[in-house]
Structure 1
Amino acid sequence: MLNKKELTDKLSDNLIYYRKKAGLTQVQLAEKLNYSDKAISKWERGGSFPDFYVLYELCQLYKIELNDLISNKVDLEKPRKHISRRLITILSTSSVWLLATIIYGVLLIFFQNPPFSWFAFIYAVPISFIVFLILSLIWERKWIPFTALSGVIISIPISIFLSLHLMLDIKNAWFTLIIIIPAEVIAFIAFILKHNISIYKKKNKPLN
């Protein structure tokens, strides 16, 4: 059985966890509950308890049960979920490089080291970023998808440039690199807009 301090610590930790999971700041949550952000901060520091009706509103907002606010499962599930996601991401991107290595080996064995066989590794770079981007869009928030998209935007034109310049001997292949800067700017603006729209929707989402 939890004593008062353990209960307070567990409740404050879970209040922080579920608020961040919902993508809310203390100010945004305070506006939804018609409380001050100082009250939210005090609850999350364990300085006081929210009353029962506030706990009920929080459960409705986060779509959880009251018992979830004082349970230990947050501590157990969060690291486990992050570990499994990272493991899947690592295995997925590693499989791209494994495939590139296999292709390179096959070319060496059966075609007696054909020219540009090492391009298997060049093309593995943008493919790895594409895999990383897809997984980050599914699981991650904030700027990780933007980082993955930046890798895609940079690596694809460079791969095309190397292919045109080295394999096909096209002298003006550098024009493929021009797209990188405007594409990066557009991607950055798009992520800023998406982030602001997401905050606006969460801020104006009515309580159930």
Structure 2
Amino acid sequence: MKEIKQNIADNLSKLRTSAGITQAQLAESLNYTDKAVSKWERAESVPDITVLKRIADRFGVTVDWLITDHGNNAPAPDKAVQHARRHNHLLITLLAVVCVWFIATAVFVVLGGLGISHKWLAYIWAVPVSMIVLLVFNAIWGKYRRNFVFISLLVWTILAAIYITVITVARWNFWLIFLVGIPLQLATIFWSQIVRISKNLLRQNKQE
């Protein structure tokens, strides 16, 4: 166990310095404190397996690479590999969003063929669906703090889509629906604070 601790410490320090980021920056991306990262790099403690996986994904390596002794002269993974991984994540996300708009276009064409005059609403609803896609992929690859931004955007784009649909189809100026967004936005902010506090408490418990 002591050998694995030291391997993780050496490899983590090598990866971090090679990437040109500080302990505080790495800690923030992992939702930990720089004190915890410092302990890992001094082999005083070991991150759990889920955190090791996130570290491996962050630097474009495997968990096995992190726990293996590569010697003092072994180079850290190429920055280009790490950049390529982040680029691939971004590309996949953008392709998913493009698929949403492709489907919206297909719906637009079908509705037009059926003679429906409000076929352009397909594009209006493509906006909140795109927010859902961005939220899902950010939850997988991005920073958790961005989730609350996407949730807020999702709430307001859904309300806007409902408003535009109602005022277009029913000719009813249903502007009061936006009042629903206020408690939902407050709930999102409140939830984000609860998550932040709970994560801080969890970090402190792990460090103890």
Q: Secondary structure at the match of 2:88?
A: helix
Partner of 2:31: 23
RMSD: 3.1
CA contact (8 A) 2:138 2:144 kept: no
CA distance in 1, matches of 2:119, 2:15: 58
CA contact (8 A) 1:92 1:131 kept: yes
Pair 1:150–1:74, CA change in 2 (3 A) = farther
TM-superposed deviation, 1:119: 0.3
CA contact (8 A) 1:28 1:203 kept: no
**Whose relative contact order is higher, 1 or 2, with alpha carbons under 8 Å and at least 6 apart?**
1
Q: Secondary structure at the match of 1:73?
A: coil
Tell me which of 153, 165, 172 is aligned to 1:151. Answer: 153
Partner of 2:119: 117
TM-superposed deviation, 1:74: 6.8
Tell me which of 105, 110, 117 is aligned to 2:109. Answer: 105
Q: TM-score, normalised by structure 2?
A: 0.70
TM-superposed deviation, 1:107: 2.6
Aligned residues: 175
Tell me which of 140, 143, 154 is aligned to 1:141. Answer: 143
Which digits, 9 at most, give the CA deviation of each residue in 1:110-162, with x for residues without a partner?
234x2111001011011110111111122222421111111111011111111
Q: After superposition, where does 1:36-51 map in structure 2 within 5 Å?
A: none
> Structure 1: 5+ residue runs without aligned partners?
1-6, 34-49
CA distance in 1, matches of 2:67, 2:187: 42
Structure 1 residue 163 and structure 2 residue 165: aligned? yes
Report the AA paired with residue 191 of structure 2.
A
TM-superposed deviation, 1:18: 5.9
CA contact (8 A) 1:132 1:148 kept: yes
List, as ranges, runs of 4+ consecutive aligned residues in structure 1 with deviation greater than 6 Å. none
CA contact (8 A) 2:93 2:137 kept: yes
Q: Give identity over the alignment, percent.
A: 21
